[in-house]
A = this chain, B = another copy of it.
Amino acid sequence: MQIITSIKEMQDFSNRVRREAKTIVLVPTMGFLHLGHLSLMEEGRRRGDLLVISIFVNPTQFGAGEDYEDYPRDTERDQQLAEEKGVEVIFAPTAAEMYPSTYQTYVDVEKVTKNLCGISRPTHFRGVTTVVVKLFNIVKPHVAIFGEKDFQQLVTIRQMVSDLNLDIEIVGMPICREEDGLAMSSRNKYLNPDERGAALSLSRSLKFASELFKKGERKAEEIIREVKRIIEAEKLVQIDYVKICDTTTLRDIEHIDQEAVLALAVNIGKARLIDNIVLNQDNEDTDLPR
């Protein structure tokens, strides 16, 4: 396994691999890898010849007062896990390499970024789309893999790839959960034991919503009320939003007659956590995956 920190070196490497007609797969990460990331790498291993992961805690997707400085990092462990999963290259640039002092270009996806997390994090997705375009231009993948926990991020990237005619296949992978249902996230590290217990209300509420939906409930308002009731019973949890949206436009919907996503964000202590479930009556797989 190689660790490449230079943009030019990564591009040259990928150019050579492409000339050999090999398929490059990229899994972009911010490091502090967990089983969710590893499931993306396993899928990546299946889908291509060269598996590259990027590890870059991207400053432009953090707002003022957010946890950029504190975001958990463990380079040594990340490298070991990546190697075990058959990763050939870790691309791990510095912030100065990615954003020189004259930097001034940003990619904006206008509509799908406005709702959900876009309300309380108005500059977040612009940072995400910008760094993802940069990573695509540097690593030059044929396929890129993202987790569905960041559902709005995945929808935004799909929209951007379509709009900018990026010739890259985007693959979304199901949320990975702990045994007790908590969606895996590097930010779970922030939780103390009490907060960790309170955080279980998220997956519990989604499970309950899924059952309501299966029993025939189609009114978004009713489902959202039940989800909020379950979460609000936990005093350590502050809800940012609970919404039901169209899975492509991410606009709020009142009555679920198309595929919808029930998405939520909460603050618990210093952790901001998100979770979601897709509600689709034609799909039996609306249970929370483990």
Residues of A within 8 A of B (CB): 7, 11, 15, 18-19, 21, 102-112, 129-130, 133-134, 137-138, 140, 159-160, 163-167
> In the complex, what residues of B have CB within 8 A of residue A15's CB?
167
As for how many copies of this chain the complex holds, the number is: 2
* Closest B residue, CB atoms, query A134: B165
Interface of A is mostly: mixed
Residue from A109, A137, A140, A160 whose CB has the most chain B CB atoms within 10 Å: A137
> In the bound complex, do residue A159 and residue B104 qualify as a contact, i.e. CB atoms below 8 Å apart?
yes
> In the bound complex, do residue B108 and residue A105 qualify as a contact, i.e. CB atoms below 8 Å apart?
yes
> In the bound complex, do residue A134 and residue B164 qualify as a contact, i.e. CB atoms below 8 Å apart?
yes
For the A-B complex with A103-B163, A104-B109, A107-B164 known, give 14 more contacts whose Cβ atoms are closer than 8 Å: A7-B165, A18-B18, A104-B110, A104-B111, A104-B112, A104-B163, A105-B108, A105-B159, A106-B110, A130-B164, A133-B164, A134-B164, A137-B165, A137-B166
> In the complex, what residues of B have CB within 8 A of residue A21's CB?
19
18 contacts between A and B (CB under 8 A): A7-B165, A11-B167, A15-B167, A18-B18, A19-B19, A19-B21, A104-B110, A104-B111, A105-B107, A105-B164, A106-B110, A107-B108, A108-B108, A130-B164, A133-B164, A134-B165, A137-B167, A140-B167
Task: Select one of B102, B138, B160 contacting A105, CB under 8 A.
Answer: B160
Shortest distance in angstroms between A106's beta carbon and chain B's nearest beta carbon? 5
> In the complex, what residues of B have CB within 8 A of residue A160's CB?
105
* Closest B residue, CB atoms, query A248: B102
Shortest distance in angstroms between A160's beta carbon and chain B's nearest beta carbon? 5
A15 and B129 alpha carbons, distance in the complex (Å): 24
